[in-house]
Each structure stands twice: as C-alpha cells, then as structure tokens.
Amino acid sequence: MHAVVLVGGFGTRLRPLTNDVPKPMLPIGNRPMIVRLAERLAAGGVTDIVLALGFRPDTFRAAFPGDRVGDVRMHYAVEPEPLDTAGAIAFAARHAGIDSTFVVANGDVVTGLDIAELVDAHRTLGTDATIHLTPVDDPSAYGVVETTEGGIVARFIEKPAPGDTDSRLINGGTYVFEPGVLDLIKPGQRVSVERETFPALVADQRLAGYPTNDRWIDTGRPDTYLEANLDHADTPDAIHPGANVAENARIERSIIGDGARIDGEVTRSVILSGASVAAGARVTDSLVWGHVTAGATLDHCVIGQDAEVPAGNHQHLRLPEPA
C-alpha cells in the first residue's frame, strides 16, 4: 500500500527553525519527524511512501540513503509549482502511478493513530474517502466536522461560533483515498483538498469520518512543536548520547540534541543539535538552535541556528505556555 505524505510547506510559523530546514525534518525527541511518521505508516501496512515535495527537496533525498526507511521505499514527487493540498496529493499519486487504495498524511502532524485501523474502517464504511477526526476542547479555531450516525460526513463548519454545532471533531490530517478521488482534481492546477475536494465528496455522500481519541498534535507552531518534543522528555533518548553535558549542569524535562553543549540550566526546553547553553545561563520553555552565552536568561523564546544570545533577560511572547 502507498502513502502520500505532504511535506511541501514552508513552515513559516516555526521560523527561524525552518529558515533552512523543512519542518518535517525537524526532530521530535531527537528523531526526525518524518522518520517517526514513516515508521508509523509502515506499522499500518504501508510499503511505499511518496513525499509530495516543494521546499528544499534535496534535504529529504539526502536524509534517506538508498531511498528507504527500514523496509519502506521512499519516492519523491517534486511539484514544478505550488499546487495546494489536493493538487499536491494528485501530483504525487500520479507521479507514483498509484491505482489502488492509498493513505494521505500531513508531514507535520504527530499522532498515535493506528493506520491499519483507519484503513479497515474505510473499507468497512465503503466510501471513496475517509478522514481521521480528532476532538479538541475549543473548536472555534478550527474547521469542525459533523457526521451522520453511519459515519458519513454531513458538513464542515469553519471556525464555528458558540451554538453553531455540537461537534468538537476536527480534521486530523490523515486520510484514506480510493484512486477515483483523483478524478476530482485536475492535473497541474492549484486545488485545495479542504475547500474543494472534500466538499465535492460530501455533496455526493462519498466522504466518511473516523473519530479517535489518540494523542494528536499539529506541530506547526512553536508551542505545539515544543509540546510534541516534551512528550519524549522522560524517555532514554531525551538526552542524545552525543550531547556534552557538564557535571554541574541542570536539566529538567527537556530534549538535548546531538552535539549540544550544556553547562547551564535547561527546563522544559528543546536544545537542538550543535546548540549550547553556557554556565550561568538559564533556558526555560524555549526552543534553541543557537548559542546562549553566560548570564543570559531565556523564557519562552525561539532561537535560530547559530544565533548567539547575549547576556540579559529575553522573552518572546510568540511561544505560549505548553500544555
């Protein structure tokens, strides 16, 4: 079974971390996000992954020697121009010659969803497409999905006001498509799967929804990217064996990357590969890919690759308190 993985975005909300690195190549718990996704797809029966690429495709090719992740074969479909979500899915599927049921996944979503269960549900429901649905506490910032008792998607409600709907289910970013869905997407044109393809399927009752309560995080913002990493803060891989941690350094519930140097205090933060925190520096609730000098205090900050943080207090409000 094939999977098309959307990895063509620019990751603008995660800048400066994504200035030179595509978002799905950023690490989650010291392993690239795209590798974790590939392994989850493989566990669900996927044998071939087609990366729908736009931004820095060579970074992905270089990351997978032999074009494989474990037993999964990797393929690359580089868009000649941005085609939006449905356009990218169709371009990648046609590029790979997909002619049977396939999975679609957003490359920046971290979830515990069982792919095999989603595929089984799709086949049981018997529709042309099935989307994973996940509940959120406050649906007003999302496009909410309503379904019938039989699991068919009835309608989408964009950013509902109180009283507009009883549903708290949103699009979880993982789908199962039959190849016939591609007929709705004209080749070479910008087409949105959310705004055009799904509504067309809903109109003909050809779209189903599969809700689960699995852990689900859209890592597209600094706070949610931090949250996804901190889920791994208590694992053996939280501090990379290639990190250099001084005896008097203090690390609490954090991720420390390969080649990072820690001499100061790090709390609920991600220190990426090659970054450093000097003695006398303190980092809290932050993402750091640069160098924090002695006497600097970071609180809710995002520091890009190779940037140097001078002494003093630094706080950036763009990174809310992690959940």
Looking at the annotation, which residues are catalytic?
A: 159
**Chain-centre distance of CA 57, in angstroms?**
17
Contact predicate 177/129, CB 8 Å: yes
Q: Give the pair of three-digit tokens for residue 18.
A: 């994504």
In whole angstroms, what is the distance from residue 109 CA to residue 65 CA?
Answer: 24
Closest CA to 5 of 30, 41, 29: 41
Q: Which residues sit opposite 245 in a β-bridge?
A: 262
d(CA 161, CA 140): 6
Q: Could you give the 3-state DSSP secondary structure of residue 136?
A: coil
- The phi and psi torsions of 56 (rounded to 5 degrees) equal 50, 60
CB 17, CB 76: distance < 8 Å? no
- Residue type at 197? T
- Give the separation between CA 176 and CA 4, rounded to whole angstroms: 10
Instruction: Tell me if 102 sits within 8 A of 50, measured CB to CB.
Output: no
The DSSP string of 233-290 is: TTSTTSB-TT-EE-TT-EEES-EE-TT-EE-SEEES-EE-TT-EE-TT-EEES-EESS
Cα(213)–Cα(235) distance, integer angstroms: 23
Q: What is the distance of C-alpha 49 from the center of its chain?
A: 16
Cα distance between residue 318 and residue 217, in whole Å:
18
Distance CA 274, CA 288 (A): 10
